[in-house]
Each structure stands twice: as C-alpha cells, then as structure tokens.
Copies of this chain bind each other. A is one copy, B any other.
Amino acid sequence: MSYLPIKQLLQTAPASQTVTVKGWVRTKRESKNAVFIAINDGSTIHNIQAVAEPGQLSEETLKLITTGSCLAVEGNLIESLGSGQAVEVKVVNVTVYGTADPEKYPLQPKKHSLEFLREIAHLRPRTNTFSAILRIRHALAFAVHKYFNDNGFYYLNTPIVTASDAEGAGEMFRVTTLDPINPPRTEDGKVDYSQDFFGRETNLTVSGQLEGELGAMALGKIYTFGPTFRAENSNTTRHLAEFWMIEPEMAFFELEDNMNLAEDFVKTVIRYALDHCADDLAFLENRLKEEEKNKKKEEQSDMTLIEKLRFVVDNDFVRLKYTDAIDILLNSKPAKKGQFQYEVAWGIDLQSEHERYLVEKHFKKPVILTNYPRAIKAFYMKQDEEPATNARGEVFGPTVRAMDVLFPGIGEIIGGSQREENLDKLVTRMEEVGIEPEAIWWYLDTRRFGTAPHAGFGLGFERLVLFVTGMGNIRDVIPFPRTPKSAEF
C-alpha cells in the first residue's frame, strides 16, 4: 500500500517526508493564515491535521471539503506547531474521493443523542464514540480467541440452526422455507414439517452448550463463540434478540476449576483491553465523566471507567455459596429497612438489586456465587450430594454445582456449572422437569459412553463489551442490534 493508516502516521517521526493520508473529514477550520482539516480513517480515535496555505486550494475544492467528505491528502509530515498532536501534514495536493452534502449528511460536528445514532446505525461507526466501542469490541473478541488458544482450547462451531429446545431456555425463532400462507399439512391438520427444508421443525440456537459438551468429551477443552438468539419480547437496555455468546466446556473440570478458569479468563481479556485500547478507553472514560455531570450526586459512580476495570483485574473475586449469600442479604440494611423490591428467601432467583448489593455494597468486589437451589437452575447441572445448610445449621433444599459471576453495575456476567455426568441422575432430573430424554439421545450418549466430570460456562459477549466500554444500553455495543420490531440494516 502506498499510504499508512493514521494510527501509524501519528507515531512516525517527522522528517518532512512525503506521505499520503486517506480518510474522512471530521472538521475544517479556515483562518487568515491557514486551512486546518482534521482527518480520521477509523484506525484510531485520533485525527491527523492537514494544513494548507490560504489560497493553496481552489475555492471549488474548499467547498467540497466538509464534514464527512472523503479525501486523499498528499503532503509532508512535519512536527506540529499546535498542541495535542506530535505531527501534522503540510498539504501538497488534495483529492476529493467523495463529498457529503452538509444539508443532508446527518453527522455534523455537534453532540448527537445515542437514540438518534441508533436510528442511523449504518453511519454511527463514523463517530468517535462508536468507532471507539467497535475497536474495543474487536480487541475483546481477539483477546477471547487468544486466551483460549493460549490455554489449549479448541474453537468449536456449534450449529446455529437446531432441532432441539433441550434447555427450554425460552422462546425461539423458527427457521423455515415452507410456504407461509399455505404450509403443507399432516392428516391431523398440523404443519407437516417433514416437508420443510431440514425435514423437521428447526429453530435458531439459544446456546451451543449441549453440542459443546459433545466436543469437550472428545477434544478435552473447547469453546464456542458465535451468535445465539432469544425471541423474547423484551424492550430493555439489557436484551438483544441476537447476541454473541462465548461458551467454554472442559472435560475433567470440576466446580472449582471452572471458577478458576472463569476468573482468570475474564481478568485476562479485560487486561488485554486495558493494554491495547488505552486511547479508546480514555475517550470513553471522558465521555462518561461528561455524562455524569448531569446526574445527581448519589447516582454518580465513585470510580472512573478505567478504575472500575482495574478494580476487576486487580482483586480476587469473592467465592460464596448461594445459601450464605441469602444470609447476608437477609441481614442487610436494605432488607431490614424493606428497601428491596423483591423479598429475600432461600429458593428465590436473585434479582439484580440483590446481586448488586452483594457486589457493590457488601463485598465491593466481583463475586462468584455457587451451589444454587436445584429448582431454579437447568437440568444438566451436577447435583450436590447434600442439601444446603446455613451457618446456623438450618437445612434447605437440594442444590446444584452452579456458579454465577457477578460484576458491579451489570450483575451476572457469567453463568456456568459443573455438569451432571451420571446418566441416571440426569435422566431422572429431565423427567422431573418434563424434558423428553429421547429428544436429545445424542447428548445422553456422552453419559452412556465414557462419561467423565466436566464443567463449563457461558458469557454474553455484549455484556462484557457493555462493562468494558461503560455504555448503558446493550444496543450500543453491537453494530446492528436486533430487537423487537427492529431489524433495519
């Protein structure tokens, strides 16, 4: 290539060498002595400044150089006289690749609301905020692959189209090529899915875990990293209909190994972002600071974005049984003052307010909660031998070797468990919760043939990006969000 990305140009020692800059105009400023053009090419949050002498560029060309237009600038790389940048480009020649009519181009240099930018998701990566988010998202994705590769895991592409809803994890999207108006029917009037593309009813996957277990019971350690889908009609800042999941699964791992892995994994990828995305994180940290200025004092966070990330990386996660967490919650100020919206009792599915109390108020550290009540967890989790007891010797119901990793601000970021490897226990549990064992005969084969202790967890990638970027709405950390009534672009 005959030109360098701006990221590299900005790190090049100036010696009046001839360079070419290609990118999009962020701003143009004309003074008596010069024309200053700030150019960005997406390789970095920083612009490079091109400086032309007055009269050097024709009136016609100058008119075309507006925010959003695309240029190739040839010039000399020189030391910058202005503050804020080490080098700038003294213009020799400008080629305008593409214009951006100021009357029509929506991204003029002023503050745009995130809501507005969501409506032009096809253009928002051209803003500082979204280019920073997408570069960080990339770095985190790469860190995920690097972590697992470095640690002997194999990437397993589990299927997106599946015929099983074994997890009963929620509403699913149907995948079909049948005539939508007049689908073929069976004799009893139902849809005849045997004539559908796959010869049966198929859906978009909600999790690759079951197939991941098949992989782990052959390759030892595997991970998935791919799209998953939930057809939940939830219009919240935390839900997407299409999101990316990371699901490692490890033969011979028990609950404690699983916790060790989860903690090391999430710390390592966040550390990677701290090490590789300093400029973008600093930009987003400042963005948050500005945003916080408009908040009430009690709603302002006591840590900056980077402090919050360092806090996760530098602290040991607290490890705690569910039953002990319930005790802490029952004895907490908000419980005694009736400030929790949802009542606390052994057996409840912890609500966000409870999780956040534990993490943000009580321990002030990330927390791994384990050994949840069996009744509120999935059928495949390994059953504990003994029922739960608390410090006072009270006996509760049966538990499973589940673990949830809870983060400040965000609640559950990782959910996992050791898996039930005993065929009889697993089948009995499936029957109790109404899952037909024959429907996933292939999954049960892992327990029929050479079963072994194993464990795994799932991490919603967008949750991680949300945490690392400090953004407030999950629709802002994926390029093209899919939500109820919205599949634009």
Contact = CB atoms under 8 A, between A and B. Distances in A.
Interface in A69-83: 69-70, 72
A71 to B, nearest CB: 9
Interface stretch (A361-369, A425-433, A445-453): A445-453
Contact of A198 (B70, B122, B145, B487): B487
- Most central of A105, A190, A217 by chain B CB within 10 Å: A217
Contacts of A447: 98
Interface string A185-213: 00001110000011110101000000100
A104 B450 CA distance: 12
Interface residue range, chain A: 35 or more
Contact of A214 (B145, B200, B452, B489): B489
Interface in A211-231: 211, 214-215, 217-221, 226-227, 229, 231
A474 B37 CA distance: 52
Nearest to A122: B442
Interface in A380-425: 421
A227 B160 contact: yes
Interface stretch (A123-131, A325-333, A339-347): A123-131
A458 interface: no
Nearest to A106: B449
A218 B125 CA distance: 6
Given A99-B450, A122-B442, A177 B231 contact: yes
Contacts of A449: 68, 98, 100-101, 104-105, 107, 123
Contacts of A189: 181
A159 B489 contact: yes
Interface in A157-188: 157-163, 171, 173-178, 180-181, 183
Interface of A: 1, 3, 5, 7, 22-25, 41-43, 68-70, 72, 97-101, 104-105, 107, 122-123, 125-126, 130-131, 134-135, 137-138, 141-142, 145-146, 149, 152, 154-163, 171, 173-178, 180-181, 183, 189-191, 197-200, 202, 204, 211, 214-215, 217-221, 226-227, 229, 231, 233, 241-242, 244, 251-253, 257, 421, 442-443, 445-453, 478-480, 482, 484-489
17 contacts: A42-B221, A43-B220, A70-B450, A97-B421, A97-B452, A98-B452, A104-B449, A107-B449, A122-B446, A138-B154, A142-B149, A145-B145, A157-B479, A160-B227, A180-B183, A199-B484, A226-B226
Given A24-B218, A24-B450, A100-B449, 10 more contacts: A23-B220, A70-B452, A99-B450, A135-B154, A156-B479, A161-B242, A173-B197, A175-B204, A197-B231, A198-B484
